[in-house]
Amino acid sequence: EPEVTQTPSHQVTQMGQEVILRCVPISNHLYFYWYRQILGQKVEFLVSFYNNEISEKSEIFDDQFSVERPDGSNFTLKIRSTKLEDSAMYFCASSHGQGGNYEQYFGPGTRLTVT
Amino acid sequence: AQSVTQLGSHVSVSEGALVLLRCNYSSSVPPYLFWYVQYPNQGLQLLLKYTSAATLVKGINGFEAEFKKSETSFHLTKPSAHMSDAAEYFCAVRVYNQGGKLIFGQGTELSVKP
């Protein structure tokens, strides 16, 4: 069964460093998302991406964040200068988004620890 | 704006007992609703979805949920809890726009006692 994959599973970085989180969505899906979950809190939306552009972003998704689909399979989230408060689990999700197929399938997540 | 509220951050049941996890939604348009399960240190797995077809939705692992418009609810149930059901459960509503982001509830941690 197709699944969303994410790498790395765990990333430790120092404050101020750049990190890139990688995701491979399900191959025939058209919509891509990043969410994050700070420890003990609910899952929060960061950004959605469709047709090679951002379709929506949250207040969290400021200028330090960017997303890219560099090729036909990968979807990346870049944080330019990490802060302590960026420590969280980051989930990638994808959805077909057409014909009523709106359910989002999530990857296993990348745990980002900023020290 | 659309939102979901999950009543009860922690629910504890005995093995074999009924599981009832509550979710209420707010939406000005017919909602698309979802339940996800998160096992420790894992991602979110889709349990079931409501997309305006049948109001009683069956999902994986014996779970089901009933959409009740009059009560703006989408509660998750399972007739008989199993130890393996212990996890965090999230209710979510899909926002009705181009991006279609999900808005999640706070989550309910389900404990199952032997």
Digit-coded pLDDT (tens) for B61-103? 999 999 999 999 999 999 999 999 999 999 999 987 767 899 9
Residue A59's DSSP bridge partners are: none
Residue among A42, A55, A106 minimizing CB distance to B106: A42
| Chain B neighbors of A44, CB-CB under 8 A | 104
Structure tokens at A2: 């197709």
Helices (H), chain A: none
Q: Do A31 and B100 touch (CB under 8 A)?
A: yes
Judge: B44–A45 Cβ closer than 8 Å, yes or no. no
Residues 6+ apart with CB under 8 A from B33: B4, B23, B25, B49, B50, B65, B67, B74, B91, B92, B93, B94
Mean pLDDT of all residues in chain B? 93
With a CB cutoff of 8 Å and minimum separation 6, the contacts of B41 are none
For the segment A33-50, the average pLDDT, to the nearest whole number, is 94
The pLDDT of A78-96, averaged and rounded, is 96
Do the Cβ atoms of B105 and A42 come within 8 Å?
yes
Cα B28 to Cα B41: distance, rounded to the nearest angstrom: 35
**Given an 8 Å threshold on Cβ–Cβ distance, is B46 in contact with A104?**
yes
Per mean pLDDT, which range of A21-25, A41-45, B27-31 is the poorest?
B27-31
